[in-house]
A and B are shown apart, each in its own frame.
Chain A
Amino acid sequence: MTTPTGATTGGDTPGSTSDLADNAPADAPTDSGFRGLSPGKLMWRRFLRDRTGVVSAGVVLFFVLVAVLAPVISMIYGKDPQTHYGQNDPTLLTDSGLPVAPNGGMSGDFWFGLEPGLGRDILTQLVYGIRTSLIIAVATSVLTTVIGVALGIAAGYLGGKIDYFIGRVIDVLMSFPSQIFLIATMPVVTSLLVAPNEKIPEWLPFVAVTIVLSLLGWMGLARILRGVSLSLREREFIEAAKVTGASPMRIIFKEILPNLWTPILVQSTLALPAFVTAEAGLSYLGVGVSEPTPDWGRMIADAASYLRTDVTFLLFPGLAMVVFVLAFNLLGDSVRDAFDPKTSR
């Protein structure tokens, strides 16, 4: 059996944490006197100097705001994502379901046009679709971070059999072809969670997708944290804590964890856009969030067959997706740069 070869997530591993470890709160000043800037403030300053980071943070913030304010936007705009406008008003769609007006039915009433077929409003579908993406991606990020942190530190700090066992579990899970596994497990998870003759509640696909994505999403972080805590374990301040009789719980939470915030934050900000695309991918393949919950992945999948006849339908969800994921990725990069300026890329 081979031992883990260290970070598999490539350049995402921070090259060094020692400078932060030196500034760790353990030996931070207790008096609020003049001692220079805290690491947090330093990081914030570095971040503000990075224009890309600020712009993408703005874009991300915009998307989050839109998601949070979706009902308000829908109310002001006067449309909702569930009504079949095109089917209720026969002048909007042709007999075979394509928008009558040019550019995918874009008009003063429907700013981004109409969905062919059911004739739902694309703008509100997109707005509510952000909610779907964000809820799932954030929940999955939180879940994978918690699992990754717990198992990674446990493996690194406790070592021995536990390390070996967790290490093998990670190996096995990482060797799974994740896309295929996700497609195969989604229906199983759904059928486990709902009785055969019950309505599938609206929250269920969210929970199912989150569970499935989390199941295969925590290993990268766990591996990185294992490596870092393995090296921290041997450091003097841990030795000192041990000598003074601190319990393992205290050492993990008070001594090791504070030194790991950088990799955790960087990893999870980079993981978030990955989960957004993974969720969209699942929906694109037809195993993700189902109708009537608005979802970008499903919109893009639907739009693909109208590429030649109604390209507007693909344009808006496609562009929104690109901007959203790009902004998140750039933000993740900038956060990493700010936390850890020495990292060379």
Chain B
Amino acid sequence: MSSRKMRLAAAVLVAGALTVTTACSSGHSNGSGTPGASKEPVKTTAITIGSADDSKGPAIAEPNAKKGGTVNMIDRDDFSHLDPGQIYINTNAEVSLLFTRQLTGYKTMADGSQKLVGDLATDTGSTTDGGKTWKFTLKDGVKWQDGSALTSADVKYSIERTYAKFIKSGPTYIQSWISGDKYRDAYQGPYEGQHLDAVQTPDAKTVVITFADVHPDANFTLAMAGYGVVPQAHDTKEEYDKKPYSSGPYQITEHVTDRSLDLERNPNWDASTDPIRNAYPDKWHMTFGVQAQQSTERFMADNGDDKTAFSFHNTVFPAYIDQVKNDEKLKPRTLQGLTPYVDYYYINNTRIKDQKIREAMVRAFPHQQTRQLQGGSSYGDYATSYMSPSVMGWESYDAYGINKKPEGDPEAAKKILTDANALNTTITYAFNNTPLQQKVTEAIRDAMTKAGFNFVPKPIDPKTYYDVIGLLNNEYDLYWGGWGADWPTGYTALQPVWDGRAMADGASNYGHVDDPEINAAIDAAAKIADPVAAGKAFAAIDKKLQDKAYAIPDVYQRSLSLYGSGLGGVKYDSLAGLQSPLNIYVK
């Protein structure tokens, strides 16, 4: 065949293909409910403080669970840190539950609710002066992986070493509560033989921590993985990040960076001392580098080792959400829940000082459209408050009727703008320049333009996004950001983001809200010892923030994830927004 004929044949073939209709893709249904409806009330996951009885081991057993086997884990990224002092990110914290213990921790009850209980400590600590001095007593029989006893000196040492220079990425709450914001100047860590007087060990079982001020929720702070214990005898400083010494049910056998992490049982862990960890499997094999699309496809296929696999962090890839939700076979191994994260569209309050304009922005914002682009109701529940429903004391309050009109109310916004004589106000919107965010920006542009704003979108390189919007003198009026509480009380949900004194380049107060009334209210609420009363006080601050329209809360983030059919006891940890490893067993 001559080349010319071949070309003609090709041209005809392609022309013909154009007329072929496609019959290879079927329609999509909404599962339950109508599109975008999802107006079911947000379920609150109340956290309570457990008693000394609750703090006794062993953990609440899973029905039908059995011991043994190997559990696989597939995730996108390796754990960036394993040294407790360096752990702030939720995935790192979740895996370290398997080999590092803290003074306190969260116990999952039989009904799925969570309680703060003593982990190494016999209870959640006691304080006699409203939260300035905290006393913890260690349990009998808590040991390191070599069988030596875990003492109060180890706890003291673990807090001391968080002052060291090489500890860069962990939480800094306890340090700054003891020694002030410049805590590293006050004390340089235990490596040169100096000790921290604020942490006292009257005997081998007792730890007493004294803060400069009252912090009634410090027992929640100490439940952070960042305050896990590290033994002085085995502290290898920077090297410790690669292979931490175990105080929990498992120890690390091998860790190949960015490839795999293998755990085996720690023979010296005693289940009767541990109210939190069930530790059913004998081994854990974790592999990294699996993207969300891949892991979703693997879980759906459910072949070979993937049958006994779960994933801490990988959620269902957005394009598969409908398929996963409508597949009856997948239903038993689908996990859904609220994460601790609230997404906001921050309004830059240094640039937009007129409350009326901010209110118009809140009313005009197209929550439904932006959410649909990002996965619909599996992406999150429409947010009205600044705190997440998982925070203690959260109250439902919807100042602008967002739940009634999640698609935005351009007419109402336009009316406010007209009354304020502010039609065509320019809104410069900074966004992550990704294909998805370009589409989200389109939806926002559509709504804001309808409401009478002059909308100017500004793409920003995703790598530098937070650096750019973190500048106090940034030139944008509106930008996306999220915040998750470090522990479920109002203080960490609100203070870092909405306290005007926390404003700085790169700090979390992206909206530049500096309202003396709110600052004072946060101070007052932080000192309330009674958790219920403190929760009420923070809920009141939340309402005030809403009334003044300081930002646009968008969604309480949700998570939708899958795991293999060969596993049982896989639960969703709503405090971290991840799959929890603590009750998993191989069927």
Seen from chain A, the residues whose Cβ lies within 8 Å of a Cβ on chain B are: 50-52, 55-56, 59, 84, 87, 90-91, 93-104, 106, 116-118, 187, 196-200, 286, 290-292, 298, 301-302, 305-306, 308-312, 315, 319, 322-323, 326-327, 330, 333, 345
Contact = CB atoms under 8 A, between A and B. Distances in A.
B442 A84 contact: yes
Given A55-B11, A198-B456, A345-B3, A291 B38 contact: no
A97 B27 contact: no
The A interface, classified by DSSP as helix, strand, loop or mixed, is loop
B411 interface: no
Given A100-B30, A118-B439, A290-B459, A312 B36 contact: no
B231 interface: no
Contact of B373 (A55, A97, A298): A97
Contacts of A102: 25-27
Which are the 5 A-B pairs with shortest beta-carbon distances?
A: A95-B376, A96-B376, A102-B27, A98-B28, A291-B438
A215 to B, nearest CB: 22
B11 A197 contact: no
Contact of B30 (A94, A326, A330): A94
B35 A309 contact: no
B45 interface: no
Contact of A301 (B22, B33, B36, B435): B435
B434 A311 contact: no
Contacts of B317: 305
A196 B379 CA distance: 32
Contact of B11 (A98, A101, A306, A327): A327
A97 B376 contact: yes
A90 B35 contact: yes
B545 to A, nearest CB: 28
A91 B37 CA distance: 11
Contacts of B456: 197-199
B29 interface: yes
Contact of B322 (A96, A200, A301, A312): A96
A327 B12 CA distance: 11
A298 B30 CA distance: 27
A14 B542 CA distance: 75
B24 interface: yes
A308 B319 contact: yes
Interface in B404-420: none
B407 to A, nearest CB: 8
Contact of A291 (B34, B369, B439): B439
B17 interface: yes
Contacts of B7: 52, 330, 333
Nearest to A91: B35
A312 B372 contact: no
Nearest to B30: A94
A94 B442 contact: no
Contacts of A96: 318, 321-322, 372, 375-379
19 contacts: A50-B4, A59-B11, A84-B446, A87-B368, A87-B369, A93-B372, A95-B33, A99-B27, A100-B30, A102-B25, A103-B25, A106-B21, A292-B442, A292-B445, A305-B319, A309-B322, A310-B25, A312-B25, A345-B3
Contact of B29 (A100, A187, A199, A330): A100
B8 interface: yes
B233 interface: no
B428 interface: yes
A199 B8 CA distance: 47
A107 B381 CA distance: 32
B1 interface: no
B293 interface: yes
A265 B461 CA distance: 40
A59 B11 CA distance: 10
B435 A302 contact: yes
A97 B24 CA distance: 19
Contacts of B322: 94-96, 98, 309
Given A96-B318, A99-B28, 10 more contacts: A55-B11, A87-B443, A94-B322, A96-B322, A96-B378, A200-B459, A290-B438, A291-B442, A302-B435, A323-B15
A323 B10 CA distance: 10
A197 B428 contact: yes
Contact of B8 (A52, A198, A315): A52
Nearest to A98: B28
B80 interface: no
Nearest to B433: A286
Nearest to A84: B446
A93 B378 CA distance: 15
A278 B219 CA distance: 59
A158 B560 CA distance: 69
B191 interface: no
B35 A93 contact: yes
Contact of B4 (A52, A90, A286, A311): A52
A2 B315 CA distance: 55
A312 B442 contact: no
B28 A309 contact: yes
Contacts of B173: none
A128 to B, nearest CB: 15
A319 B459 CA distance: 30
Interface in B255-295: 293
Given A52-B4, A196-B475, A323 B14 contact: yes
Of residues A118, A298, A311, which shows the largest number of chain B Cβ atoms within 10 Å of its Cβ? A118
Contact of A95 (B4, B35, B443): B35
A333 B3 CA distance: 11
Contacts of B22: 103-104, 106, 311-312, 315
Given A102-B27, A291-B442, A305-B319, A97 B17 contact: no
Interface string B455-479: 0111101000000000000010000
Nearest to A112: B22
A213 to B, nearest CB: 20
Given A94-B376, A96-B321, A330-B7, A84 B25 contact: no
Contacts of A319: 14, 17-18
Given A95-B377, A97-B372, A291-B439, A309 B320 contact: yes
B372 A326 contact: no
Contacts of B376: 94-97
A344 to B, nearest CB: 11
A222 B321 CA distance: 52
A69 B15 CA distance: 21
B44 interface: no
Nearest to A86: B372
A185 to B, nearest CB: 14
B34 A90 contact: yes
B441 interface: yes
B27 A101 contact: yes
Contacts of A51: 8
Nearest to A319: B18
A116 B446 CA distance: 17
Contact of B475 (A94, A197, A199, A200): A197
